């Protein structure tokens, strides 16, 4: 058996601990059936940590996150902590994790599972079989660029400023993630910017092209303006394989693509950092949804987004494509069998609890 894969699980708040219970059962099953040696630790984060430790994330948890091969997060936040000052809110823990782990590439798959094709607001023929990966630059661009701020001018007018700024290295490292991913998929990358009106977009396009020509000539690269990409995503989404774009455009386009699938409880994500000398990247996996306080504690949350995030971990942090596919195929199978948590319920389907969905998934893994 190879070295243990260390995972830090951060269940968080609301439905986070409920869905994470199902992940642990799946991890246990993989340990038993595939002899994968997981070394799983768990720590508090968000509101749970504020209540127990007085801070949204402790130094000890940060150190454990840095040391782990991968981190899996449930969700943080809830009404109990809504009135805290911004610097003490549960969400600060997430920002700190992303910043200190240096997570510069956010991976947001938009996959339409066949049995859920009707959940999309687009026509079934447009989204059936959809499988897009959006790679969003996460630590640069206009959300972080300087100068920024609001100032009062001499004539009394006020001026708000944010700066879109990218360096060669920032563009190249996120583009490399996109090209690497494409090589494991349909081998196509669409790079998205606004080089028609923004110099930072010109630089983005030039650097992506340079990296492509020198290191990834076998990958099909196209360029698209962000406004056109927004239209194409709802006009003909299946034209895309991997989309790579900056922080601002990626924020919007990944949410737009997510809604092509129509179901928040099904959406996983990954955030990756710089590779170390052994090629290991810091990595955080989490569902796109939040802590869903409206249904927390009822045992009805959909665990599939978190389970699919765990499958992404198997694939991208541990290179275990077989185990990842086994989990993903089991998800397809339970959906095909008509099992649905309340959020994805359809006429004629069987409504199940969080735990029953986990039971069905474990059983389906035996057949995949």
Instruction: Please give the residue ranges that form the binding site for ligand NAD (CB under 6 A).
Output: 15, 75-78, 91, 94, 264-265, 286, 289-295, 301-302, 305, 341, 343
For residues 33 and 356, what is the distance between their CA atoms, to the nearest angstrom? Answer: 21
Kindly give the pairing relationship between strand 268-275 and strand 105-111: antiparallel
- 255 is known as an active-site residue: yes
Residue 284 tokens, joined: 């955080």
Residue among 194, 246, 282, 316 flagged as catalytic:
194
Q: Minimum distance from CB of 74 to ligand NAD (Å)? A: 7
Residue among 37, 60, 227, 294 flagged as catalytic:
227
- Helices within the chain (DSSP H only): 16-34, 47-53, 59-67, 91-100, 124-127, 168-183, 199-215, 226-235, 247-261, 304-316, 321-336, 354-365
Residue facing ligand NAD at closest CB distance: 290
Instruction: Kindly tell me which of 243 and 301 has the beta carbon lying closer to ligand NAD.
Output: 301
Prior bond of 147 cis (ω within 30°): yes
Q: Minimum distance from CB of 191 to ligand NAD (Å)? A: 27
Q: Minimum distance from CB of 317 to ligand NAD (Å)? A: 19
Residue pair 13/77 in contact by the 8 Å Cβ criterion: yes
For residues 322 and 230, what is the distance between their CA atoms, to the nearest angstrom? Answer: 33
Instruction: Kindly tell me which of 81 and 204 has the beta carbon lying closer to ligand NAD.
Output: 81
Residue among 143, 180, 215, 225 flagged as catalytic:
143
Residue among 131, 180, 215, 255 flagged as catalytic:
255
Q: Minimum distance from CB of 266 to ligand NAD (Å)? A: 8
- 194 is known as an active-site residue: yes
Q: Minimum distance from CB of 301 to ligand NAD (Å)? A: 4
Instruction: Kindly tell me which of 91 and 359 has the beta carbon lying closer to ligand NAD.
Output: 91
Instruction: Kindly tell me which of 19 and 221 has the beta carbon lying closer to ligand NAD.
Output: 19
For residues 288 and 266, what is the distance between their CA atoms, to the nearest angstrom? Answer: 8
For residues 22 and 219, what is the distance between their CA atoms, to the nearest angstrom? Answer: 37
Q: Minimum distance from CB of 218 to ligand NAD (Å)? A: 36
DSSP letter (8 states) at residue 193: E
Residue 106 tokens, joined: 């956010």
- Calculate the alpha carbon distances from 149 to 95, 143, 159, 167, 200 in Å: 20, 11, 8, 21, 20
For residues 234 and 228, what is the distance between their CA atoms, to the nearest angstrom? Answer: 10
Instruction: Kindly tell me which of 102 and 293 has the beta carbon lying closer to ligand NAD.
Output: 293
Instruction: Kindly tell me which of 78 and 201 has the beta carbon lying closer to ligand NAD.
Output: 78
The set of catalytic residues is 143, 194, 227, 251, 255
């Amino acid at each position: 058996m190879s070295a243990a894969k260390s995972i830090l699980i951060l269940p968080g708040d609301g439905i986070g601990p409920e869905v994470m219970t199902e992940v642990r059962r799946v991890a246990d099953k993989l340990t038993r059936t595939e002899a994968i040696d997981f070394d799983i630790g768990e720590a508090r984060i968000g509101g749970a940590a504020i209540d127990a430790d007085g801070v949204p994330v402790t130094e000890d948890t940060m150190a454990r996150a840095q040391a782990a091969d991968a981190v899996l997060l449930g969700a943080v936040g809830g009404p109990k902590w809504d009135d805290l000052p911004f610097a003490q809110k549960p969400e600060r823990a997430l920002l700190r994790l992303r910043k200190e782990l240096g997570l510069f590439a956010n991976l947001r798959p938009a996959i339409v599972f066949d049995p859920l094709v009707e959940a999309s607001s687009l026509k079934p023929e447009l989204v059936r079989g959809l499988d897009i990966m959006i790679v969003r630059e996460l630590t640069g661009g206009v959300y972080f660029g300087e100068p920024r701020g609001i100032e009062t001018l001499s004539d009394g007018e006020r001026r708000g400023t944010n700066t879109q700024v990218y360096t060669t290295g920032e563009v190249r490292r996120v583009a490399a993630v996109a090209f690497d991913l494409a090589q494991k998929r349909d081998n196509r990358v669409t790079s998205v910017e606004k080089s028609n009106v923004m110099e930072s977009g010109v630089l983005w396009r030039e650097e992506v092209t340079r990296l492509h020509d020198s290191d990834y000539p076998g990958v099909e690269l196209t360029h698209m303006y962000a406004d056109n990409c927004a239209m194409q995503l709802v006009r003909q989404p299946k034209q895309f394989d991997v989309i790579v774009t900056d922080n601002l455009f990626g924020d919007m386009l990944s949410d737009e693509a997510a809604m092509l699938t129509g179901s928040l409880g099904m959406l996983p994500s990954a955030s990756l950092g710089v590779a170390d000398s052994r090629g290991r990247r810091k990595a955080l996996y989490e569902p796109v949804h939040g802590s869903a306080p409206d249904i927390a504690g009822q045992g009805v949350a959909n665990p599939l987004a978190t389970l699919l995030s765990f499958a992404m971990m198997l694939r991208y942090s541990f290179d275990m494509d077989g185990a990842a596919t086994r989990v993903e195929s089991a998800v397809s199978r339970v959906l095909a069998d008509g099992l649905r948590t309340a959020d994805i319920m359809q006429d004629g389907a069987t409504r199940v609890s969080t735990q029953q969905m986990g039971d069905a998934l474990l059983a389906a893994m035996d057949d995949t």
